[in-house]
């Protein structure tokens, strides 16, 4: 099909409900796929649209009551385009009106509709619709570059995330806009969320758009991961792709060593670093009641930061004496003591740490290093939620101080580096019942105020608080089947109803609907493959091909970066 060959004519529609287009007789309805990017050439403006529905129509009910025989190709061809026809529904997303208006009847006029280099400023939200019988065209490579830009644009940090379903043209995210707000990657289990997350994180690292802090619940981002559906084949993690820029910290050193990672740094947390707010987040995992939390506050007021250690070492008589003098409830405190003993099972918890590992992580982030925190065998929700909340709370506090200093001095040198925190199982932290008690709810609502944003990876977006979902800037969504999850994706999205059918028709692998702050309009992409070609394109080093001398030099350079 020629790129300048008209596909159909606009016959009716509205700005709120979309545009209905009748396909020309020589255009097969089977070539029209939901999610396709099309262009309507109006009398004065050019409209960039997304195909949201495909239907069949007939000019007379008699054709349906007496259809042609399956072998009667002649009658079927006679009816095609006249008695029978196809229609498509388009959702106009952007429009461009040039200064000099071309003649829309000429196919050559399409070239004259190309905006200049300042095109992003001239692409406007749709506030009108094309006139009757305006012609519809396939989008070509030039259209995609006008709307989504290209990776070689020196003025913007664009990153190729994939290509349209029917063209070999890159679709780019604007990473500067992507990292300045919290974002989400959604999709049911097995749709490739982790691979897509690793792809985007690689783009952020390569383009130097931000520094990343990744809480790696299943050890998939740091060194390597199993390639789903490919036996025992593995793909490279971020440390292999960017060895001088990514640091791995582990909460389970033994498990990390078993996986063959030799240069991971240990990370331990202590009881005196656990605050009441951290326990409040995992109260359901520990089985803590409101009374237990109230008595924890009494203990903290008496013993300060060492209250957990003091409680775990108290005898029943000491607890009884404490309750008599401090008005605590003996039953609640004894229950609190029993339940906090479960924390001893977490290998990364110590009674006291001579070294502040969270400060070490902060120093790595301040030095421009991207940090992956692996949990190893600590894959339980209790372990994951407690550690992520403890670490993030302190890092966010540090960034608040840095942001306040920058606002006071106005000195560009004091501006904090943008930080993106990646969390999995996000609905556990952002559920409506506890979102106001977690640091992640605070970060999601503050957006870029303190230069810290979230990258949410989740398979149940319906479990995330609606207020938080409305603040998610860019949503990259793989296949979802649950109606509640689909509804959640379009929370706060104007015209989201027209995109529901697009989302429902995605393939189960390597397809995603991207909409929001980092793209000018919603688009369906075949996501970029995470393979050897991608490794070479992002500039990864194959360490197997390096000499011992080169490896030694690289190790010395890494030590120098860390100040050793």
What gap in Å lies between CA 102 and CA 497, rounded to an integer? 34
pLDDT of residue 26: 87
pLDDT of residue 1: 37
Residue 542 has pLDDT above 50, yes or no: no
Of the candidates 510, 503, 434, the one whose C-alpha atom is nearest the C-alpha of residue 475 is 503
- Does 166 or 41 have the greater pLDDT score? 41
Cα 417–chain centre separation: 20
Give residue limits of the domains in the chain: 8-148, 174-268+353-538, 272-346
The pLDDT confidence band at residue 81, using thresholds 50, 70 and 90, is low
pLDDT of residue 448: 66
Q: What is the mean pLDDT of residues 110-129?
A: 62
Which residues is 422 bridged to in the sheet?
214, 455
Give residue-wise pLDDT tens across range 91-100: 998 998 876 4
pLDDT of residue 413: 85
- Does 163 or 67 have the greater pLDDT score? 163
Q: What is the mean pLDDT of residues 59-85?
A: 75
Please calculate the CA angle 321-325-329 and round it to the nearest 5 degrees. 75
What gap in Å lies between CA 249 and CA 272, rounded to an integer? 21
pLDDT of residue 124: 87
pLDDT of residue 231: 54
Q: What is the mean pLDDT of residues 182-191?
A: 89
From edge to edge, which strands make up the β-sheet containing 511-516?
A: 171-174, 158-163, 523-527, 511-516, 474-477, 183-186, 452-458, 419-424, 211-216, 370-374, 246-250, 265-266
Interacting residues of 135 by C-beta distance below 8 A, sequence separation 6+: 6, 7, 8, 9, 10, 40, 41, 104
In this structure, which CATH number among 3.30.70.100, 1.10.150.130, 3.40.50.300, 3.30.559.10 belongs to the domain 174-268+353-538? 3.40.50.300
Please provide residue 541's backbone torsions phi and psi, each rounded to the nearest 5 degrees: -100, 130
Cα 234–chain centre separation: 23
Which residues is 155 bridged to in the sheet?
none
Residue 165 has pLDDT above 90, yes or no: no
pLDDT above 90 as % of the chain: 19
Residue 546 has pLDDT above 60, yes or no: no
What gap in Å lies between CA 256 and CA 268, rounded to an integer? 14
Give residue-wise pLDDT tens across range 192-231: 888 899 999 999 999 999 999 999 888 888 887 777 655 5
Tell me the range of 133-142, 215-224, 227-236, 548-557 where mean pLDDT is highest.
Answer: 133-142
- Does 260 or 103 have the greater pLDDT score? 260
Tell me the range of 133-137, 253-257, 387-391, 425-429 where mean pLDDT is highest.
Answer: 133-137
Residue 562 has pLDDT above 70, yes or no: no
Q: What is the mean pLDDT of residues 262-291?
A: 86
119-123, 135-139, 411-415: segment of lowest average pLDDT: 119-123
Q: Answer yes or no: are the C-beta atoms of 114 and 84 closer than 8 Å.
A: no
pTM score: 0.83
pLDDT of residue 540: 54
- From first CA to last CA, the distance across the chain in angstroms is 61
Q: Answer yes or no: are the C-beta atoms of 527 and 168 closer than 8 Å.
A: no
34-43, 45-54, 534-543: segment of lowest average pLDDT: 534-543
Name the percent of the chain in helix, strand, coil, to the closest 5: 40, 20, 35
Residue 357 has pLDDT above 80, yes or no: yes
Give residue-wise pLDDT tens across range 463-517: 988 888 888 889 999 988 888 888 888 877 776 677 887 888 888 888 899 998 8
pLDDT of residue 492: 72
Of the candidates 436, 429, 484, the one whose C-alpha atom is nearest the C-alpha of residue 462 is 484
pLDDT above 70 as % of the chain: 87
Q: Answer yes or no: are the C-beta atoms of 96 and 122 closer than 8 Å.
A: yes
pLDDT of residue 183: 92
The pLDDT confidence band at residue 447, using thresholds 50, 70 and 90, is low
pLDDT of residue 495: 66
* Beta strand pairing call for 183-186 and 452-458: parallel
140-154, 228-242, 466-480: segment of lowest average pLDDT: 228-242
The pLDDT confidence band at residue 115, using thresholds 50, 70 and 90, is very low
Q: Answer yes or no: are the C-beta atoms of 356 and 273 closer than 8 Å.
A: no
What gap in Å lies between CA 548 and CA 540, rounded to an integer? 18
pLDDT of residue 5: 86
Radius of gyration for the chain, computed over Cα atoms and rounded to the nearest angstrom: 28
The pLDDT confidence band at residue 62, using thresholds 50, 70 and 90, is confident
Mean pLDDT of the chain: 82
pLDDT of residue 421: 93
Residue 541 has pLDDT above 60, yes or no: no
80-84, 211-215, 304-308: segment of lowest average pLDDT: 80-84
Q: What is the mean pLDDT of residues 379-386?
A: 82
Give residue-wise pLDDT tens across range 513-529: 999 889 988 888 999 88
Residue 88 has pLDDT above 90, yes or no: yes
pLDDT of residue 109: 40
Helix (H), strand (E) counts: the chain: 23, 23
pLDDT of residue 457: 92
């Amino acid at each position: 099909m020629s790129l300048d060959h008209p596909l159909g004519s606009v016959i009716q529609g509205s700005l709120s409900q979309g545009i209905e287009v009748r396909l020309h007789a020589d255009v097969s309805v089977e070539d029209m796929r939901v999610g396709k990017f099309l262009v309507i050439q109006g009398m004065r403006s050019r409209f960039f649209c997304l195909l949201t529905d495909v239907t069949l129509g007939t000019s007379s009910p008699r054709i349906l009551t007496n259809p042609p025989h399956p072998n009667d190709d002649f009658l079927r061809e006679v009816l095609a385009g006249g008695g029978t026809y196809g229609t498509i529904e388009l959702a106009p997303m952007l429009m461009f009106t040039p200064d000099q208006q071309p003649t829309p009847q000429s196919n050559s006029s399409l070239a004259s509709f190309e905006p200049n280099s300042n095109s992003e400023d001239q692409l406007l939200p749709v506030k009108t619709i094309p006139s009757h019988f305006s012609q519809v065209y396939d989008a070509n490579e030039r259209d995609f570059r006008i709307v989504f830009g290209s990776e070689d644009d020196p003025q913007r940090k664009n990153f190729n995330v994939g290509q349209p379903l029917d063209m070999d043209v890159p679709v780019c995210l604007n990473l500067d806009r992507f990292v300045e707000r919290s974002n989400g990657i959604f999709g049911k289990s097995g749709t490739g969320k982790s691979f897509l997350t690793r792809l985007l994180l690689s783009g952020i690292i390569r383009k130097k758009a931000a520094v990343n802090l990744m809480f790696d619940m299943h050890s998939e981002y740091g060194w390597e991961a199993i390639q789903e559906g490919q036996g025992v084949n593995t793909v490279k993690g971020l440390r292999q792709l960017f060895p001088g820029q990514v640091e791995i910290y582990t909460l389970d050193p033994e498990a990390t060593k078993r996986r063959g990672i030799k240069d991971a740094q240990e990370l331990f947390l202590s009881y005196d670093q656990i605050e009441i707010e951290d326990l409040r987040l995992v109260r359901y995992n520990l089985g803590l009641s409101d009374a237990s939390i109230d008595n924890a506050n009494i203990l903290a007021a008496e013993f300060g930061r060492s209250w957990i250690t003091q409680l775990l070492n108290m005898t029943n008589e000491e607890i009884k004496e404490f309750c008599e003098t401090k008005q605590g409830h003996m039953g609640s405190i004894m229950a609190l003591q029993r339940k906090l003993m479960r924390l001893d099972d977490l290998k990364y918890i110590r009674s006291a740490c001579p070294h502040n590992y969270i400060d070490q992580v902060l120093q790595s982030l301040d030095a421009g290093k991207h940090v992956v925190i692996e949990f190893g065998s600590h894959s339980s929700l209790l372990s994951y939620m407690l550690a992520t909340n403890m670490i993030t709370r302190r890092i966010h506090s540090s960034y608040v101080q840095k942001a306040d200093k920058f606002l006071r001095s106005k000195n560009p040198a004091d501006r904090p580096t943008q930080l993106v925190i990646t969390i999995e199982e996000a609905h556990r932290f952002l559920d409506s019942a506890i979102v106001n008690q977690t640091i992640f709810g605070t970060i999601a609502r503050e957006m870029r105020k303190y230069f810290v944003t979230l990258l949410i990876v989740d398979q149940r977006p319906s479990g995330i608080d609606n207020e938080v979902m409305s603040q998610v800037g860019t949503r990259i969504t793989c296949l979802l089947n649950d109606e509640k999850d689909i509804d959640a994706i379009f929370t706060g999205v104007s015209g989201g109803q027209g995109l529901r059918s697009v989302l429902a028709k995605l393939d189960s692998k390597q397809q995603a609907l991207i909409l929001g702050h980092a793209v000018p309009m919603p688009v369906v992409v075949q996501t970029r493959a995470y393979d050897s070609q991608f490794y070479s394109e992002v500039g990864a080093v194959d360490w197997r091909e390096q000499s011992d001398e080169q490896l030694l030099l690289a190790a010395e350079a890494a030590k120098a970066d860390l100040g050793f």
